[in-house]
Every structure is written in C-alpha cells, then in structure tokens.
Amino acid sequence: MMQRRLANIHKLIAEYDLDAIIVTKPENRRYFSGFTGSAGLLLIGKKTQMLFTDFRYIEQAKAQAPEYKIVRHGTAVFDIVADTAKKLDITRIGFESDFVTWDIYQMVKESFKSVELRPIKLDALRRKKDKDELKLLRKAVEIADAAFNQVITIIKPGITELEIALELEYQMRKFGSEKPAFDTIVASGDRGAMPHGQASDRVIEAGDFITMDFGAVYRGYHSDITRTVVAGKANDKQREIYNIVLNSQLAGIKAVVAGKTGKEVDAVARRIITDAGYGDYFGHGLGHGVGLYIHEEPRLSPASDSILSTGMVVSVEPGIYLPGWGGVRIEDLVVVSDTGCEILTASKKKLIELI
C-alpha cells in the first residue's frame, strides 16, 4: 500500500520537474510514511526517502516508517535538511504551500540558499481511499453508529445538551475512538437553527428537536454522522421539515456516482429543498470528503467542479434551519463507486420519537 502511495508522489515529482519534495503536514506525513508522531518531516526524492525527527520519536519512527531512513535532528531542522539536500545534488524542492506559514517559509529560504523552492499541494493524492483506509473509515463509522444507539436511550426532557454530548463522546471512546472527530454538536429546540451549534447548557424540553452531529477517530481516520430526533412526539411542522430534509438526503445519495461533479450532486439534493420553499434555509454545501481530515476534498457544493471517482468517501448532509424555530440535518458517509455509492452509516433515518 505504501509503495503505491509513494509511486504517486514520484509521479508528482516528475510532473513538477522537481528533484524532491518536503512533506510537513502531519496528515500527509502519516499517509506517505506511516509515522504518527507530532513532529518530523519527510524528504522524498528520486532516490531518497528520509524522515527527519527529534529525539522523542526516533524509535517510533523506525517502527512505523520502515521505508524511510530515519535522521535525528536538533534545533535547526531545516539546516540539516538543507545540508542533506546539498549532498544529494537536490536543487529544486517542492513545499506544501497550503501548510507552510510565512515564518517557516522565511526560515526555509534562509537554510536553502542555493535551492529553488516551488509550491506544491499533496492533499489531492489522498482523495481516493485505498482498501486499508476504507477499513479504518468503516470502523470509525461503526463506532459513531454504536454511540448513537446508546445515546438515544438516555435522551429525555430535563437533561442538557452538554450531557448528551458527554454521553456520545464517552460511548465513542468506549467503542474504540481515539478522540472526538470535532467538537460535538448538540443543538436542541430553537438552537437547532444554528447548523454548527456546539453543545450548550440548554435543558431539553418535551417536544424539542435535537440535532446531533458527531464523529469518531480510528487510527487517524474520521467519521461524521448527523441525526435529528424528537424528545417526545413530533408535531406536524417538525414532520414536514424532517421529511423534506430526508427526501433531499436520499436523493443526494442516489445522485452520487463516479463521473459526476460535486455541484451536480449538490443540485439534485438542493432542488428538493428549494421546491418545497426552503431553499433560503439550506445555506451550506451538501457534503465533503472525509479521511485523515474531517473536512477534505472533494466537496459537494454549488461551487464544486471536483469530479467524483471510485473510492472517494463523502458526506451527504442537507439541512433546513429556521431562525426562531429550529432545524433538521441528516448526514451519512458514503463510498463512491462506478455504479453509485455504498452507504457506510447504518443508523436509521426514520424519524425517531423518544417517548
């Protein structure tokens, strides 16, 4: 697996006419080496695969990144990398322009005096998930599903959003999650109108809609799920809004197939909400890629020209948010295929009334 990933890096090196690239983004460092430490950089050239890290991580790096020569550095990491590059006759180096800060760039320029630095981006190489990644993503999704099954047994009027978030995070940890994939969203009652309403001390009242958006992390891979449930019996308006969002979500999933663009899929789901008269209340994109990052390419949105292809994993998550009333969002993760997509999320989407 690592060989195939590295082959893609070498293709990029040739394409950009570089001698080597330096990988500093932690997720890319992990993807292209296996090394999960918090500090280190990869120098990948035509005949070079080196991992520079500090004293704390030498043993870990040796164990996790057998394809790499491990080099220990002190304080001036870029000086050592520059010396190495000089010895290897490396004169053109690619840098991750979407990660390196201005300050680091100044440091790098100082160290690499006779080297030409060129901006590159590596995230696109991680869009299509390989078999190993899909296994980990499936597990992350399973953990979140299991936590959802547990949390609906404790939701009742009188508990707070924070208590619901705590239960979700506790259950995910129990089922094997490393940490929450992002700050858990629990938005109840009128707070449901905030698409990203983080859990607050608001007390759940009978009849409230509760939107929960959360995810697990398993060996670096994220999951992302949203469900909206009622603490009691749903009223007509709640049923109406819920069904529009559900129909939009189902249509969005049905539209996902390799070859379509992000905006084409978004349009199918958005149309249903717009036709029902709520287009102004669905103000975000339909979905996003998920992997080592919780939000990554490709996007499903009105602006996305990304073309879906087999093996990409994306969320499908339409919503309606009505200020002063509340909101509904429903989100699954799916794997794109040539014939459509496979839904990873198993939690039921029929409206759950917790009576």
Closest separation between CB of residue 233 and Mn ion, Å?
28
HEC secondary structure over the chain: CHHHHHHHHHHHHHHCCCCEEEECCHHHHHHHHCCCCCCCEEEEECCCEEEEECHHHHHHHHHHCCCCEEEECCCCHHHHHHHHHHHCCCCEEEEECCCCCHHHHHHHHHHCCCCEEEEECCHHHHCECCHHHHHHHHHHHHHHHHHHHHHCCCCCCCCEHHHHHHHHHHHHHHCCCCCECCCCEEEEHHHHHCCCCECCCCECCCCCEEEEEECEEECCEECCEEEEEECCCCCHHHHHHHHHHHHHHHHHHHHCCCCCEHHHHHHHHHHHHHHCCCHHHCCCCCEEECCCCCCEEEEECCCCCCECCCCEEEEECCEEEECCCEEEECEEEEEECCCCEEECCCCCCCCCECC
Q: Which is nearer to Mn ion, 211 or 315 (CB)?
A: 315
The Cα–Cα gap between 23 and 97 comes to 10
Residue in 12, 50, 5, 67 with CA at minimum distance from that of residue 31: 5
CB of 184 to Mn ion, least distance (A): 12
Give 188 or 315: the residue with its C-beta nearer to Mn ion: 315
CB of 315 to Mn ion, least distance (A): 4
CB nearer to Mn ion: give 77 or 334. Answer: 334
Q: Which residues within the stretch 129-168 sit at the binding site for Mn ion (CB under 5 A)? A: none
Q: How far apart are CA 239 and CA 222, in angstroms?
A: 31
Cβ proximity to Mn ion, 171 vs 315, nearer residue = 315
Whole-number minimum distance, CB 213 to Mn ion, in Å? 7
Total residues at the site for Mn ion (CB under 5 A)? 2
The residue (of 123 and 224) whose beta carbon lies closer to Mn ion is 224
Q: By CB under 5 A, which span of 179-187, 192-200, 262-270, 311-319 interacts with Mn ion?
A: 311-319
Chain centroid to CA 232: 33
If the CB atoms of residues 19 and 296 are measured against Mn ion, the closer one turns out to be 296
Distance in Å, CB of 224 to Mn ion, minimum:
4
End-to-end CA distance of the chain: 49
Q: Is 332 an interacting residue with respect to Mn ion (CB under 5 A)?
A: no
Sketch the per residue contact string, 249 through 278, with Mn ion: x for CB under 5 A, - otherwise.
Answer: ------------------------------
Distance of alpha carbon 96 from the chain centroid: 19
User: Nearest distance from residue 331's CB to Mn ion, in Å?
Assistant: 5
- Told to check if 315 binds Mn ion by CB under 5 A, we report yes
Contact flags string 285-304 toward Mn ion, x per CB under 5 A:
--------------------
- The least distance separating Mn ion from the CB of residue 107, rounded to whole angstroms, comes to 35
Least separation in angstroms between residue 319's CB and Mn ion is 10
Instruction: Name the residue nearer to Mn ion (CB basis): 19 or 331.
Output: 331
Phi first, then psi: give them for residue 39, nearest 5 degrees: -140, 140
Please identify, using beta-carbon distances, which residue of 29 and 129 lies nearer to Mn ion: 129
Using CB under 5 A as the binding rule, the residues of this chain from 187 to 246 that contact Mn ion are 224
- Residue with Cβ nearer Mn ion (45 or 289): 289
CB of 311 to Mn ion, least distance (A): 19
Question: CB-wise, 33 or 211, nearer to Mn ion?
Answer: 211
Q: Which stretch binds Mn ion (CB under 5 A): 147-155, 267-275, 310-318, 347-355?
A: 310-318
Among positive and negative, which fits the CA dihedral 200, 204, 205, 207? positive
Least distance from C-beta 12 to Mn ion, angstroms? 28
Q: Residues in the site for Mn ion, rule: CB under 5 A?
A: 224, 315
